[in-house]
Every structure is written in structure tokens, then in C-alpha cells.
Structure 1
Amino acid sequence: MTRLKTGVLLVLFTLVFSHVPNIVQADGSGAFVAVYNSGRALVRETRVVTLPQGPAAVVFTDIPASLEPASVRAVADGMTVKDVEYSYHPITAGNLLDAYVGKELSVILPDPSDANARILRQATLLSNEGQPVFSVGNEIYVGRYEALLLPKIPKDFDAEPTLTLTTQSAVEGKKNVSLSYLMGGVNWHADYTMTLSKSGTTADLDAWATIVNTSGRAFKSADVRLVAGDVQRAPAPRLVRNKAVMAMESAPMDSAGGYATEETFSQYHVYSVGRYISLPADGSKQVGLFSATDFPVKQKLTSRFNSGPGQRNGKISQPVELALSFENTEMSKIGRSMPEGLVRVFMPTADGMQLLAGETRISHTAIGNEVRLVLGRSFDVTVERTQTHFKKVGKNSFEIGWKITARNGMSAPQDLTLRESFPASWKVLSADAEYTEADAGTIEFSLASLLPTKGTEGKIINYMVQIEY
């Protein structure tokens, strides 16, 4: 029995200290990375290890610090994993001071006899909660210090994370270990560039996926998939749902004309880059998703106001927003699922120079939906109002009258929509312009071809509404 135990210990010692360099693939490439737009990623890679027959401790290096230890899975033919240990105690100022609580160190303190001088004192670190507390001689010191000098780095600090598997192998030899895990520090989002034509009625759209990696772990020649959708994150990571994504690792790579290919996965969408790419340890990578050309767009000016029961004095200015809209359908030459992201819209000047006209974020937009982009506020089209009537006609009932003035300072006619929203129960008592009920709480006045009003009073609308709570 003694010889057997000694032999096992020697095997453990030999594997851990002699074969660690052979554990990681020589090129460190070929990983499968599924990036979710919630700030995490599923990684599956192959590591080559040399195992003895029987028990062994296998140490993996080049592991991301943002790894979720409970999600680790390791599989190889003829190998059984008994336990998994993740270790990372980085060298930071806070960790070093925590290790020196109760121990003596050197601290550079302000000299009490000279405000511009410093003194070196030996002190015992009593606590590192909030800020360091020192025992200096017979006194307790809490306050500013210039620097701390530590005699050495304590034990059990790691320069990088390590993952140790306790394994049992049926036979001796090299094995390809399939290692999968979830990690943080990797995210992606969509970036859209929309360019309007000179007429302003059509546009071109380029969609890009921006992958951001801040984990400190680089991935070379990786098969990258991008998962779009709101995937619920539970306290304990589960890999059951992710098996469908991992199975796509063996799918053939297809450039699809230089753009990512798309497919549905459960209630989400998955984009395959179509070629092997490298992700920097701290940086970003952009890949093309899709493009659309010469599709119809509409520009619309809208001014909104929420009319409450209060009494208002004086003139009230309200903004006029510029919005761009289009239908995400095949008939309109798009018909693609649009992941959430930032849309930048460029419009031409008189000489054809494209300038940024506005940018806004969109949420996940499925095929068949309208996309509405609020770009900014109009410079020349203005709206102001004055309350012309206010009367309490019941315990919780009010009559309110408004005079709205719309002006167009541009040289060409402009279409403008006024949206008036009301709380509780309401009814329009009178109005000198036609309106439509947009929904249960809103009416709209449509001012088609609002003429230039330089030197004139502008377009005036008067109406009265009764609001009851």
C-alpha cells in the first residue's frame, strides 16, 4: 500500500511540474466563441495534455480572469474529471495590504514638525477596511501617507489565473481535452451607418457588429458567433441551452459574400462571422452583418405636448423633433433582423457633402416592424403655445383652452404634426382645425405644407378640452 501511494504522488508531482508547458496548444488558436450582447461569452477550445494512467492533477494556464468557475466543463476520451479548482489571487494594492494586516511594514508619513517634509517609520498595519490604520510606536495613526514599503510579496499570489482539474485516465498518453466555460468581459453590439440620397426619400444602410473584448484574454483564429436577444441570466449558469450553440462549431465556414450569416436559435438570432477572426485581449473588432441600398425613407417633424389640469401663464415653447422612419420589410428592400445598436444618419449638403444629421439607438427590431429614428430638433420650425382659458367646472373637472402658433423659418414648405396628449378622461369641446385621435390619450393636428412664415404670424390653432380625473 505504501508503494502505491508513493507512486501516485510521484505521478502527480511529475505531471504538474513537468508537463504544464504541454497542456496548452502550441498556437493557442481554434477556439469557438459565442458572444452574447449581455456582456458574456461561451468559449469552447481544445487543449492538448499528456496524462498518465490513473489519477493526475492537470493545470491549465492562459485562462481569463473573468471566467465563471461553475460553468467549466472538460471532456476527453477515457478521462474522468473528479473536481475543478479555479485560482486567481491577483497582485493588487488592496490584496497586498490585506495580506499584511497584523504585520510590520515601512510607511512614509508627513513630518509633524515640517509640513513639507516626510519621515520613514516602522508601523504595524492594524486594519485595511476603508483606509489603512497603523500602529506607530505607542500611537494609532489614521490619516494620509505618502507610500508603503513592503518587504516581499506574500505567498499565494497569482500572476495569472489557473484552472486545475483532478482527473482519472484509463490509459496513458496525449489527449485532446474539450474545455468549455462562460466568461465575462466580452460584449457586442450593432453599429449602423445610414446615408440619405440627395432627394432625402431613399437611403443606404450598412450594418456592422462591433465586438468588444476587455477580458485581457486574446483569441486567435476563433470561430465567432454572435447571439442577439435578451437571454435571461440566472445566478447559477446552465449550459443546457447553450449546447445548441456549441453544436454549430462543426458547421462549414461560408463567407456569404463578405457578410455574416444569420439563423434563429430558440427565440434568439445567431450570426456566424463566416471566417476565422482574432479578437485582441483589450480592444474591438468590427465585422459586416448586412447592407441595404436605395430603400424608401420618410422624414417627419413632430411637436409633442402633455396637457395637464394646471393653470399656465405666459408663452410656452415646445421642441420640434426630426424623425426618420422606414419599414423593415423585404418589399422595402431591407427585411433583415436588426440587433440593438447605434444608428448614425448622414445627409447631403447642397454640394453633396455627407454630414452627420443625428444618431440614436434602436432596440432589437424584427422583420416587419417600422424603425423610427429621432435625429434631433429643428432649427427653423418652431412651436409655441399660450393658455387662453382655464376653468374648474367640477370637483375633479377642468376646461382648458390653448392657442398654438407654428412657424416655418425655412424657404420651403414643411410638414408638421402636433401631438396633444391628455391624462385621465377627456373630450375636445371645440377646435378650429381638423384633428385625428391617434390613440386613447392623444389627438393630432396635421399641418401639411406649412408655408414659410418669415415676417408673418404663422399658422395658429385654437382648441378647448375638458379633462376629468
Structure 2
Amino acid sequence: MKAMILLAALLWAGPVMAQTQLTIYNRNFATVKETRTLDLKKGENEVRVSDITAHLEPDSVILRDLKKADAIRILEQNYESDPLSEGLLLRKSEGKVLDFEITLPQTGEKKIVKGKILRSGYVPHTSAFRRYGQEYTLRQQVYSQPQGGGQPIVEVDGKIQFGLPGKAIFDALDPKAFLKPTLLWRLWTETGGKHEVEFSYLTGGMRWEATYNAVAPEKGDKFDLVGWITLENMSGKDFEQAKVKLMAGDVARARPEGPGVARAALAEEARAAVPGEVTQRAFEEYHLYTLPRPTTVLDREIKQVEFVRATGVPAKRLYVYDGFQWDQRWRGWDADSIRTRPEYGTQSNRKVWVMLEFQNAEKARLGMPLPQGKVKLYRRDLDGRNEFIGEDSIAHTPKDETLRLYLGNAFDIVGERRQTDFRLDKSKRWASESFEIKVRNHKKEAVEVRVVEHLYRWIQWDIPQKSMEFHKTDARTVEFRPTVAPGGEAVITYTVHYSW
């Protein structure tokens, strides 16, 4: 005779003994790993696991005996993922007679009418059939519409009617009814008794993200940075006193089927003296951030934990003028047209960007891998209040890399770019183009502006004439860096020669 066991999470043996571990990824999924005790008899056992998430991926389940890896075998696994609902009970009542409570509109009196369920019109919950692909999902959604098969048919007093005659009243539930997602295992073991096992699986409905707040003083561009980790649990399960790790990096997952498919030493001592910091370490090609202590993450809860704090981070303010404005009319044009059409690339953008550049390095009071996230920037005004001055996003950034934050467009600096000459000799396979760029500074202090020019017509180029020296930033981009006097104007001219 088979033994039926209800598998439940153990109570904590002590504050250090964490039984649940979560590794949350920033792509809306997580790994759940739990240590549990199974009391099994020798031979075949049936085990029912109901305290799982609502978005468990059944093909990711791993069950392992902690003392002997092959001591337990899963002979069969069934996953009941459809939540109990009126529709599901109607489906199980097809062919049966049910009581329906109706209210008479004239008197408000309630009465019971009996009806036989010929068709429930039930369609499984979306999560129950999404894994079978986009086409199946769409068909089920169409079927569930009233004009499809999603309308109940009930026989009342020998007549057929569409829709329920009233509120359905069901018999008491079977003790084995599934009130929430449940795993049913058929296990085999050669050794009876208690088994300490590790149970792990992947689940959707959990995510995390990093956000940053940077505050600069009234004057200067040094800033204080605070980074927050935000956890979001929409998995359908509470996790009590779980050890939480966060994986940062672009972890590959197979894409689902769809129509188009077949993120100073004293300072070190001070930080070491502060208990409970978030720690990080490299793992494979990614970075793991570990919360300092077990934490409770309730279902439908958003939890925030500080993971980085730095004061006096040195930064440099940059003004960048990129006068090239992409013309949507040229989308899809071939290389020959781009080389030979004089009007290509002549539209001008007048905005000058304001950027904040800093190093993610120990000498800059940082020096740890920073996960991708949004950065909100504030500056203190004369009253000492923080005023919001911009927001940008950073990608996953390793230690010792340079970051640039876009703060918006400068109000008092304006750029202007125009083509002054274009020459072409198709037979000798060359083109020559000249530009004039003007930058006007209406501020009360001098500013350096980085004027970016894209040499978009061809990869082979030379600049024989220029009004000032430039920096080559990549194979097809140069940068001029004029200093513009207060109330003044800088004029840059250059000629580029292309050959192919």
C-alpha cells in the first residue's frame, strides 16, 4: 500500500540555519532552493507538495538526497497548476445536476433551481497552457470568448439555456482537491526513514533591480551616491527568513515560441566596521550580490535594501555637441547612395548635451561592480534642499570602468552645424565634404564643449584641412574640443576626403 505524505517546510532550527535560499535574476525569474525532511517507507511513496510558487517551472525541479545523491528517485511527477475556481468546479461537474441560487427581482426572494451541466465553458488558466506555445494560447483565448466555446450550457426543466441560471452551489470539496498549485511525486527509495533532501526549481514572478540616487552639493560636481536593491515578489508564495542572492548579468534563456521566434584605506576600514553590508563576488560570467542577513519576502511585497554608499565621488561635467541629426528618409539606403548624395547628413541638431563622467574605481570611492539600473540626480540649492536635475540609466558596469550620465540639454549653450561644400568624382571614386560648426556660450563662465563629428560616408577618410586639432575616438568618429569664452562663440571648420 502506498503512503501519502504531506510535504511541509521545516521550522527554523536556529537563526543561522536558513532552510530556504533564493537566487533572483533581473529578468523576472528566480531559483528556489529548500532543505526539507521526507519520512519515507522503503519502496514506492506518494508525496504531495503544495507550498510552492504559482509560477514554478515543472521541468526545472531537482530533488536530491543530501547524504546520498541517488538514494531517492522520482518515478513520476504531476504538476497541478490550475487554481481552484468556479469554472474548474463546473468543469468537474459536467454531466451532473447542481443547485443554482437565483433571486426573484420582484420580491428579492431567493430560490433554488436545479440544472444539469452539459458544458462548463471552462478554459484553463493562462499559466496552464502558455507553455504549449503562442498558437495554442491564442486558440484557447478565442475559444474562451462567448461566441466561441467559453459559454456554459445548462439544462433546466428539460430546456437548454446558455449561461448559468444563477449562483452555482457545489458540494463539499474532496480532501484531495488542489486549492493551489501542487506537485505530486511518486518516489522510490531503498532505505526507509527520514531523508534530508534539497528541493530546487526555477520560478517566474520574481525580479530585482538596482536604483541609484546621486546628490551633488550647491557648487562642484562631486556627488554622494546611494544604491538600492529593490526586490519584487509576485510568485504567489511567501519566503520566510530566506537567504537571498541576486544575480547580475545577461543570463541566457531560451526564448518562448512566438510569431517572430520558430543591466581610500580609511573608507575601507569604515566600511568593514559597518555590519550587514551587501557583498558581491564573481560567478561564471556574472556577479552575485548576497544580502547580509536572512530576510522575509512576502508575496506581492516590494522590499528595498541599500547595497552601496559612497561620499565625495569625483566627477567631471561634460558638454557634448553632436550636430548630426539622423534623417528617417534615409532608412535602408545603400552605401553608394550615402557616399554620393550631397544632402545626406546635412540636417542639424542644435542641442548641447550635459553629461556627468566618473570612474567606478576605488580611488573615486567606488570600485565594485555596479548592476544596471536608473540613476536619479539631485543638486542642493541655496536652502540646502535637494532639487531633481536629471535621470539616466547605466548598464552592468565592472570595476574600474568609466560611466557617463546624461543630465539633459544645456539651456545656455547652443550648437549649429552646416555643410559648406560637397564635391564628388565617381570615376575616380572619391568625395570631399566641408562643414562649419558654431558653438555659442551664453553662460558667465568659459566652457569646454566636445564637438562630435561622424564620418559616415565611408571607412577610408582623411581630414586635410581643419581649423583646430581633433581626437579620433573610433574608426569613423572624431571629436573637437574648443573652449568657448563667456558670451562668446567658437567656430570650427574642416574638410574630409573620402576614397573607395
Do they superpose with TM above 0.5?
Answer: yes
Q: Is the 8 A contact 2:323 2:415 kept in 1?
A: no
Name the amino acid aligned to 1:132: P
Match of 2:495 in 1: 464
Letter in 2 for 1:459: A
Shift of 1:416: 0.7
Aligned residue for 2:182?
162
Equivalences for 1:301-450 in 2 at 5 Å?
Answer: 301-306=319-324, 309-311=341-343, 316-395=348-427, 397-423=430-456, 424=458, 425-450=460-485
Contact 1:430 1:463 in 2 (8 A): yes
- Is 1:212 aligned with 2:247? no
Contiguous gaps of at least 5 residues in structure 2 = 101-116, 122-138, 152-161, 257-271, 326-337
Are residue 62 (structure 1) and residue 93 (structure 2) matched? Answer: no
**CA distance in 2: counterparts of 1:414 and 1:422, whole angstroms:** 25
Worse-superposed segment, 91-100 or 331-340: 91-100
**2-side partners of 1:103 and 1:427: how far apart?**
86
One-letter code aligned to 2:219: S
Q: What is the TM-score of this pair, normalised by structure 2? A: 0.71
Equivalence map 1:153-232=2 (5 Å): 158-170=178-190, 173-232=193-252
Deviation at 1:421, TM superposition (A): 0.6
Deviates more, 1:413-422 or 1:222-231: 222-231
Alpha-carbon distance in 2 for matches of 1:274, 1:190:
16
Q: Which moved more, 1:290-299 or 1:403-412?
A: 403-412
* Secondary structure of the structure 2 residue equivalent to 1:70: helix
AA aligned to 1:410 is K
Cα deviation 1:60-114 (Å, max 9, x = unaligned): 11111211212212234685233322221235798789889999999xxxxxxxx
In 2: Cα distance, 1:89 partner to 1:363 partner:
38
Are the counterparts in 2 of residues 258 and 288 from structure 1 also a CA contact under 8 Å? no
- 1:173 CA displacement: 4.7
Residue 146 of structure 2 corresponds to which residue in structure 1?
A: 132
- Aligned residue in 2 for 1:117: none
Native 8 Å contact 1:255 1:273 kept in 2: no
Alignment root-mean-square deviation, CA: 3.9
**Which segment is superposed worse, 382-391 or 163-172?**
163-172
Deviations 1:151-200, CA, capped at 9 Å, x for gaps: 57899984311112222355655544432112122122221222223332
- Which residue of the partner structure matches residue 112 of structure 1? none
Shift of 1:348: 2.6
Query: Do the aligned partners of 1:73 and 1:179 also contact (CA within 8 Å) in 2?
Result: yes
| Residues 91 and 119, structure 2, Cα contact 8 Å, conserved in 1 | no
- Tell me the alpha carbon deviations over residues 379-409 of structure 1, each in whole angstroms, 9 at most, x when there is no partner: 2211122322233333554333322221122
Q: State percent identity of aligned pairs.
A: 28
Whether contact under 8 Å (1:422, 1:467) holds in the other structure is: no
Cα 1:397–1:132 shift into 2, 3 Å:
farther
Aligned residue for 2:328?
A: none
Greater CA drift, 172-181 or 66-75: 172-181
Cα 1:132/1:393, change in 2 over 3 Å:
same
TM-score by length of structure 1 reads 0.75
Cα deviation 1:403-445 (Å, max 9, x = unaligned)? 2221122222222110111121332242333333333212222
Aligned partners of 1:102, 1:467: CA distance in 2, in Å?
A: 81
Which has the larger displacement, 283-292 or 86-95?
Answer: 86-95
In the comparison of the two structures, how many residue pairs are matched? 411
Give, in whole Å, the separation in 1 of the partners of 2:455 and 2:40.
Answer: 74
- What letter corresponds to residue 288 of structure 2 in structure 1? V
How far did 1:215 drift?
1.1
1:214 shift after superposition:
1.5
Amino acid at match of 1:89: D
Report what 1:47 is aligned to: 36
Aligned counterpart for 2:83 among listed residues 78, 87, 90? 90
Which deviates more, 265-274 or 55-64? 265-274
Q: 1:75 aligns with which of 60, 64, 67?
A: 64
SS at match of 1:168: strand
Question: C-alpha separation between the residues in 2 aligned to 1:53 and 1:185?
Answer: 37
Distance 1:148 1:435 in 2: 81
- Contact 2:323–2:349 under 8 Å retained in 1: no
Instruction: Check the 8 A contact 1:35/1:186 in 2, yes or no.
Output: yes
Residues of 1 paired with 2:446 and 2:187: CA distance? 77
Say if 1:163 and 1:460 are closer, same or farther in 2 by CA, change over 3 A.
Answer: same
Q: Distance in 1 between matches of 2:21 and 2:495?
A: 64
Q: 223-232 vs 79-88, which deviates more?
A: 79-88
Conserved? CA contact 1:97–1:128, under 8 Å:
no
